Structure 1
Amino acid sequence: MISSQRLPSSLTPLDVALAALLRDLAPVPPIGLPLTEALGCIAADMSPLKPHPPHDVAAADGWAMRANDLVGASSYSPLPLTIPPVWVEAGDAMPETCDCVLDSDSVDRTGPLVQVLAEAIPGQGVRRAGADIAGGTRVVEAGRRVLPRDLLIARAAGLTGLSVRRPRVGVVNIPAAGAAVTAQLIAESARKAGADVTCIEAVGRDADSIARAIDTKGCDLLLTIGGSGVGRSDATVSALAQRGEVIAHGIALQPGRTTAVARIEKTPVIALQGAPDQAFAAWWTLALPVLDLLSGRRPRKSFNLPLQRKIASGVGIAEIALLRRKQGAWVTLAVGDLSLDAIARAEAWLAVPGGAEGFAAGEPVDGYMLRD
């Protein structure tokens, strides 16, 4: 029989636990991925692009001409041409001596001579070289997430792949009622953050079964779901101790107090709780910063707005607050106790520091956006 575990008398501060996880970590090496697989990953440094289009092209169907040759042409004073103009389709390269495109109605071809019925200005109906993509630019800046619009630029430039950083994340689910839902939530969140995710199911809740499921080979970050509490069947921390070093069990974080952090050789491990709200709180505050460092991601943007109402918090433990914007201020949806409805409706979150009693109404605070 597994004896019940106890949390230490003092919880490890959130910033101390995070610093231990980040110690000696560095961004993973970049890899080349096909465009569709690179979507959502964090871009690595890439070579600058060549101008696109590479030369002047017609922006519309019409007659390619030289603007200076058309001065004074109008329907009242048609300009006869001794040499017939060249017809171009949209996207065709412009003839070398031409700098404008007239539509078909501006040229009369009914008589013995072709006549021009309108003037034009240089560049009319023409897309200049480099107008879509300036030479020397990059598809996406290093450290930024690859978005669909970046793939548009890449395809226009003729690229078939991009250089990205994609950390490998292992998610080990400890079987229990409801834990599979949480494991799916964390796995989907990791994929959205640009990770390559592998999911594993432990065959049982005992320490030996969990230890056998914990495998950091081919992993840059390992996350376990469930079994980190202090109940008689919670054995994840014991399993981690068999495989590596448990840095802390019991984090000064609400929700998420029984989260544990560990290392197996050089791989950081975070034991998340099986309840979705507690797992997600530890995901935001511990796992996501580790994943961002491994990805080489630029610092996440926060949005500064005043609080509509006061947030009260107990001293000594960091509490997660969920926020939503309303009339230029943050409205607090939940603090410490996070319902699934509040998680679904929230636009941002913040951690009330353990050394503070909260924030006053009207005080500006930085909310970290949940929807990017």
Structure 2
Amino acid sequence: MAKRNLYLDTKPVEEAAELYLNALRPVVTIQYETIPVTESLNRVTRHATYAKYSSPLFNASAMDGIAVISERTVAATEVAPVTLKEKEDYIVVDTGDPIHPPYDAVIMAEDLVETKDGVQITASAAPWQHVRPIGEDIVAGEMILPSRHKIRPIDVGVLLSAGITRIEVVKRPRAAIFPTGTEIIEPEDTPREGSIIESNSRMFENMVIEAGGEARRFPPIIDDYEQIRDNIAKAVSEYDMVIVNAGSSAGTEDYTVHVLRELGEVIVHGVAIKPGKPVILAVVEGKPVIGLPGYPVSAYIGFENFVLPVLAMMGQTALKKNEVVTASVSKRLVSSLRHKEYVRVKVGKVGDKMVAAPLARGAGAAMSLVRADGFCVIEQHSEGVEAGEPVQVELYRDKAEVENTVVIIGSHDLILDVAADMMPNLHPGMFVSSTHVGSMGGLMALKRKEAHLAPIHLLDEETGEYNLSYIRRLFGSGKIALIKGVGRTQGILVKKGNPLGIKGIEDLPGCRYVNRQRGAGTRVLFDYKLKQLGIAPEQINGYEREAATHMAVAAAVGSDGADAGMGILSAAKAMDLDFIPVGPEEYDFAVPLEYLELPHIKAFIEILKMDEFYKRLDELGGYTYERAGERILNI
């Protein structure tokens, strides 16, 4: 029977990192090299560096004009000008020219009046006026840069001015990166069922470079003990660090920990972090070898917490500190007492407070990293936080960008991605952030002052009216404006060719269905239609199976995870599915009146009225937009 790896003891993050660094410090050798100063940007100095020459190298004119003997100008006034003769009383100089005795001052060209006898001056020149003395900027022998200093562009210029052309710096740590797994394929290969396109190693490669190291990514290694062992052993002899991706967990083919125990010492296996528990921190022949989990988010968080500190130690750099802000979390977050959890969040400023909207929490949700503005950290031994509670968020975007972001929480539609793409191009420095919680979830976010806009498409079953009655019931009148969005067609998404011959909702009993989440306008419409047809929800196989977006519904149907689901035409087109229309609806934006004059809200509304926006909607298909951007006030 294949052997499983068991986590006998998962260590807290800080303890694991400190244990590992303490194990590495006595054995890791910091290496140095001497390079041209012209190639030293962002490198770290080994020693303090001292000037070889002064700057300027001589007394130099600071202006275009004439060099004069100052005592010969003493009598000059506006009422009694003094005339100076060239080569007797002055010489012509340009900025940077040497100033030699007996000349000891410079008069600017614009303060001179030329005459046939020379130049006339109307004010005296003080000794050393407009003269840069030797060493004014740099004095030979003075320290220019201290040790362990990261060289900036200005530093390069000063070093060269001081006569320094070569400098000893910390050698960049070189990392070997190995993706592992029999199921792994390269991005250019054609995937088959069971294939996983390898991408983590390329992420690691760029993270190493960004941290000041050098990286070499090797081709994937299949799940074979000897191959993994031999590749790691060879890399340890040639590189400063080895990173092994996947194979670090408790599976029967997760060999990495056994290999590292054979080759060296495993300091830590298993960290109390979520996602990212199966981290391996080992030392082989005095070099760090780190095993990171295969799920993208786990891999990223493991790299940030354990690889970056090691690179900083080896490269003699300081760890980058992201800005931390206090934000109100938009929904309840339940967490395990056993782990320190990293929750990806979208962040925006609504009114006078920062709001953090949690994104997908799965370890494989790589897009949550792309969409995230930062991480909300729930410490170990905490059961989580309630909606509305303050949390600390480590920002991965500039705070000014976050403060100029339109925060949209509510129903999902592809037009939000179109607007988000157009906004920074048309209005540099402004952005759109959207979180998809359904129409009712969006209105509740407005009520809690956690969003600027709530996209909604809620049908009133009694009146057949969209959106307005819900706003009146929740907010009363005079507080919310409705910005008209788009008309769109809701329908049933089915596989190409409609193999089950579905003609309408009445044909869904017996099919595998994927539903939208509670509070979503699509689900409200679906329930309304079921009631009209006399179909009980229990008759729908999959009624309780929920997807958060139209694209998630389309993906489930397209991948044979479901036979049908309700959604919009543009999602069906995007996934090459057939579409059976159910009915038109109105997808609009609710916005509190107090936000209407904010520059980024006005910019968003203007986008809704633009021909370029309409062109993009036509390409998606299934939209009408005659009233897009129109305000309905004082509802």
Please give the TM-score of this superposition, normalised by the length of structure 2.
Answer: 0.51
1:271 CA drift (Å): 0.8
Question: 1:68, 1:346 → 2: CA distance?
Answer: 69
Summarize deviations over 1:314-368 as a string: whole Å, max 9, x none: 3221222457875597654657557545534656657543234457877685848
Mapped pair 1:211 → 2:225: no
Change (3 A) 1:125 1:30: same
Corresponding residue number in structure 2 for 1:186: 204
Q: Which range moved further: 250-259 or 144-153?
A: 144-153
Q: Percent identity?
A: 23
Are 2:49 and 1:47 equivalent residues in the alignment?
A: yes
Structure 1, 173-182 or 189-198: larger mean CA deviation: 173-182
Partner of 1:19: 18
Q: Match for 1:319: what amino acid?
A: E
Query: Do structure 1's residue 79 and structure 2's residue 105 form an aligned pair?
Result: no
d(CA) in 2 for partners of 1:179, 1:94: 69
Greater mean alpha carbon deviation, residues 211-220 or residues 122-131: 122-131
CA shift at 1:86, angstroms? 2.1
Structure 2 unaligned segments of length 5 or more: list them.
186-195, 399-635
Identify the match of residue 316 of structure 1 among 322, 333, 338: 338
Q: Deviations over 1:122-152 (max 9, x none)?
A: 5554334444446666444433432223222
Please say if 1:126 is aligned against 2:131: yes
Residue 66 of structure 1: CA displacement? Answer: 4.5
Partner SS state of residue 228, structure 1: coil
- Give the 5 Å matches for 1:26-65: 26=25, 28-49=30-51, 51-65=54-68
Query: Kindly tell me: are residues 262 and 24 of structure 1, through their superposed partners in 2, closer, same or farther at Cα, counting changes over 3 Å?
Result: closer
Cα distance change, pair 130–267 in 1 and its aligned pair in 2 (3 A)? same
Mean Cα deviation higher: 24-33 or 285-294: 24-33
Pair 1:277 & 2:274 matched: no
Code of the residue aligned with 2:32 in structure 1: it is P
CA distance in 2, matches of 1:107, 1:291: 61
- 1:200–1:213: 8 Å Cα contact kept in structure 2? no
Q: How many Å separate the matches in 1 of 2:155 and 2:357? A: 34
Work out the CA distance in 2 between the residues paired with 1:344 and 1:84.
71
Deviation at 1:28, TM superposition (A): 0.8
Following superposition, the deviation at residue 282 of structure 1 comes to: 1.0
- CA contact under 8 A between 1:303 and 1:368: conserved in structure 2? yes
Go from structure 1 to structure 2 and tell me whether the alpha carbon gap of 1:105 and 1:340 turns closer, same or farther (over 3 Å shift): same
> 1 CA distance for matches of 2:316 and 2:337?
33
Partner of 1:305: 325
Separation of aligned partners in 2, 1:134 and 1:334: 56
Over aligned residues, Cα RMSD in angstroms? 3.6
- Counterpart Cα distance in 2 of 1:191 and 1:58: 45
Figure out how many residues of one structure are paired with residues of the other and give that number: 370
2:314 is matched with which residue: 294, 299, 318? 294
What is the rounded CA distance, in whole Å, between the counterparts of 2:20 and 2:274 in structure 1? 19
Which whole-Å CA distance do the structure 2 matches of 1:170 and 1:71 have between them?
69
Q: Quote the Cα distance in structure 2 between the aligned partners of 1:72 and 1:329.
A: 67
- Give unpaired runs (5+ residues) of structure 1: none
The answer to whether residue 377 in structure 2 is matched with residue 343 in structure 1 is: no
The answer to whether the 8 A contact 2:308-2:319 is kept is no
Shift of 1:92: 2.3
Opposite residue 3 of structure 1, the aligned amino acid is A
Bigger Cα displacement from structure 2, 318-327 vs 179-188 = 318-327
Residue pair 1:101, 1:125 contacting (<8 A) in 2 also: yes
2:171 match? 166
The question of whether the paired residues in 2 share the 8 Å contact of 1:77 and 1:117 is answered with: yes
- Alpha-carbon shift at residue 269 of structure 1 (Å): 1.2
Distance 1:6 1:298, change over 3 A: closer
Structure 2 residue identity aligned to 1:25 = L
Contact 1:170 1:216 in 2 (8 A): no
CA distances 1:82-132 after superposition (whole Å, capped 9, x unpaired): 514122222223224444432334334441244334444555543344444
Give the SS at the match of 2:294. Answer: coil
Helix, strand or coil at the partner of 2:261: helix
| Alpha-carbon separation, structure 2, partners of 1:347 and 1:137 | 44
Q: Deviations over 1:277-325 (max 9, x none)?
A: 2222111111111121222234644545333338844322122245787
| Correspondence for 2:152 | 147
| Bigger shift: residues 253-262 or 224-233 | 224-233
Cα 1:183–1:123, aligned 2, differ >3 Å: closer, same or farther?
farther
State whether structure 2 residue 381 is matched by structure 1 residue 355.
yes
Which residue number in structure 2 is paired with residue 104 of structure 1? Answer: 109
* Residue aligning to 2:465: none
Question: 1:89 is matched with which residue?
Answer: 94
Against the structure 1 CA distance between its residues 315 and 219, is the aligned structure 2 distance closer, same or farther, given a 3 Å change threshold? same
How far residue 213 of structure 1 moved from its aligned partner, in angstroms, is 1.4
> Do the aligned partners of 1:171 and 1:183 also contact (CA within 8 Å) in 2?
no
Counterpart in the other structure of 1:195: 213
SS for the counterpart of 1:288 is helix
> What residue identity is the alignment partner of 2:336?
G
Q: Is the contact made by 2:241 and 2:289 (CA closer than 8 Å) also made in structure 1?
A: yes
Q: TM-score, normalised by structure 1?
A: 0.81
CA contact (8 A) 2:178 2:244 kept: yes
AA at the equivalent of 2:225: A
- Look up the SS of the partner of 1:216 in the other structure: helix
1:30: Cα distance to partner? 3.3
On the 8 A contact 2:266/2:280 being kept in 1, the answer is: yes
Say whether the 8 Å CA contact 2:11–2:270 is kept in structure 1.
yes
Higher helix share: 2
Which of 255, 261, 266 in structure 1 is aligned with 2:286? 266
Q: Is the Cα–Cα contact under 8 Å of residues 346 and 372 in structure 2 kept in the other structure?
A: yes
2:176/2:217 contact within 8 Å kept: yes
Quote the offset at 1:249 in angstroms: 2.7
